[in-house]
Each structure stands twice: as structure tokens, then as C-alpha cells.
A and B are shown apart, each in its own frame.
Chain A
Amino acid sequence: MTSPSERADRLVSKIVIRGRIEDIWRELTKQGEAQAAVFNAWLHAQTLAPGARLQMRTADGRYAIVIGEVLDFDPPRRFAHSFRFTQYDDAPCTVVYELRPVAAGVEVSLTVENLPVGTRTAKSMTSGATTILSTLKAVIEDGRPGFGSRLMYWIMDRMTFVLPKRCRSEAWPM
């Protein structure tokens, strides 16, 4: 039997969203526009199939914030990819989105596996997962992110200059 501390490298969050599973799936996988639920990042992928590289970039495309590889892509149920912040030297983790129809709508679970415990990545993922799910709910149910998220995106768009050079997209070829 494994001890609790050995399972601390996993983060699980869930939410029920009143909306269509296809719309939720689209929000999490769309390319060519900002993903309002995922920090307004733009998803760039060679193709959305296992083995393909992907990145989450800023709106101007100049910075790659996250790099990874598609691990599973099973529309509209499961999307898994590896995940590493370009800003940190932390080990990559795995992000898994799972969608399941329930009576009240669609249950969306976001699981982070192999979380590098005690790192800045772990800290960001812990708060980020909650933000992603609550924003996703607002986007689907209200048509746009909540006011706090919109304010955060407005500030983030104007603060990209604080990102280190190592995050520039040219440093991370697809």
C-alpha cells in the first residue's frame, strides 16, 4: 500500500457545467484563437494526436509559456498532454481533461499527475487548475470569463515584457 505522501504528486479538481459537451470540448482544444478558460493562451499544436508537440503561447505569439506533447486525444471525452513551464527547470507533469455527461450538465475533471512536489510548477498548477475550471464554467454558462479573469487577462496582455528571454517562442521550435 502506498502512503499518502507518495500520492501527493496528483491534483484532482472537478466541476459540473451546464452546457453542451461539444462546446466544452471545443473551448479546451481550439486553436487559432485565445482559450478564454486557459489564461487566454493560444494553443499551437502540430496536430492534436498522440505524439504531437504542443505549446501554449501568448496572444502575440512571441512567448511560449508551456510546452508539451499530446498523450491522448479522444473527442469529446479525454484530452491528456504533458506540461512544462518554459520559465522553470521543473520536471514535466501530465494534464488530463475528462468530460462526462451527468444529469446537471457535464462533469469536467482536471487531473494533474506526476506533479513535481514543492516546486513553482506545483504551486502554479494548484491555483491554476481551480481557475481554469471556474473560468471554463463562466465561459460556457455566461458566454465570457468572470470580471476578475478579464481584468487579469488585460493586465497579462500588457505585462508580457516581464517574461524572461528563455520563454521566447524562437527558443522552443515546434
Chain B
Amino acid sequence: MTETELDALFLALANATRRQILDIVLESPGCTAGFVADHFDISRIAILKHLNTLEEAGLLISQKQGRERLLYMNPVPLQLVQERWSRQYAEFWASRLTRLKYTIETAARQDRRKEKHDESQ
């Protein structure tokens, strides 16, 4: 993700109302802006602005169906952020797993060699 995309994402998430909107859409995929607005005591225009911010950040997808626009949450940007900062931990555990594999395989090889040696004695 570019820095501009990250800025848009974190800006969108840095607001309690917008985070609540994401919860509502996640819980009710395919809901409308009106459905979302019914959960708040603020104006519909304010809700539409929040929806636009979320859509610009890639967190919301709106699809036109007839006269309605249906809303879906898009988790992909969050996955990209998670991957960006978790990679170093994944590599750490992978190196531990690889070391474990080599340790076990080396021990098994040594055991086989010892068995062969004992048989030949």
C-alpha cells in the first residue's frame, strides 16, 4: 500500500462513528445507507460523508442494485496492513520451525548411523 492509501485508511479508522458503521455493515452485509443511518442520532448527510470516507479508504464497497446502493465491508486493506507489520514475526517463527526440523532430522540421521555401526560390530 502507498503512504497515501495508508493515510486514507487510518484516517477512516480514526473515528468512533466510522468504526461503528463498519461493525454495522459487517453484521448486515448488503445493507443500505438508510439502514446504517437508522442506528445514529446524527444527520443522514453526516452519515453519507462518513460512508464516503470509508469507501475512499477501500473499507466499504457500495454496489448499485436497482434504486438502492448496497454496502459491504472490504477487509482487504486491513489484511494488507496486518501483513506489513507481522512479516517479521512470521519470519521469526519460521526460522524457529526450520531449526527444529533440522535438529530432528540430524538426530534421526545420527541414530541411523549409530544403529548401522552397532550392527556391523
Contact = CB atoms under 8 A, between A and B. Distances in A.
A45 B29 CA distance: 32
A130 B94 contact: no
A148 B83 contact: yes
B76 A7 contact: no
A1 B68 contact: yes
A10 B94 CA distance: 35
Given A130-B76, A134-B79, A8 B90 contact: no
Interface string B94-107: 10000000000000
Interface residues of A, number: 24
A4 B61 contact: no
Interface string A1-34: 1101111101111111000000000000000000
Contact of B76 (A2, A6, A14): A14
A148 B87 contact: yes
Contacts of B29: 4, 7-8, 10-12
B79 A12 contact: no
A74 to B, nearest CB: 19
B80 A10 contact: no
Interface residues of B, number: 23
A159 interface: no
A23 to B, nearest CB: 19
B33 to A, nearest CB: 12
B31 interface: yes
Contacts of B30: 2, 4, 6-8, 10
A95 B72 CA distance: 16
B70 interface: yes
Kindly list the 9 A-B residue pairs having the minimum CB-CB distance in the complex, ordered from nearest: A7-B30, A4-B28, A4-B31, A12-B72, A134-B79, A130-B79, A148-B90, A12-B61, A15-B76
16 contacts: A4-B28, A4-B29, A4-B30, A7-B29, A7-B31, A7-B70, A8-B28, A10-B29, A10-B72, A11-B29, A12-B63, A12-B72, A134-B80, A146-B87, A148-B83, A148-B87
Given A4-B35, A7-B31, 8 more contacts: A5-B28, A10-B29, A11-B29, A12-B63, A12-B74, A13-B76, A146-B87, A147-B87
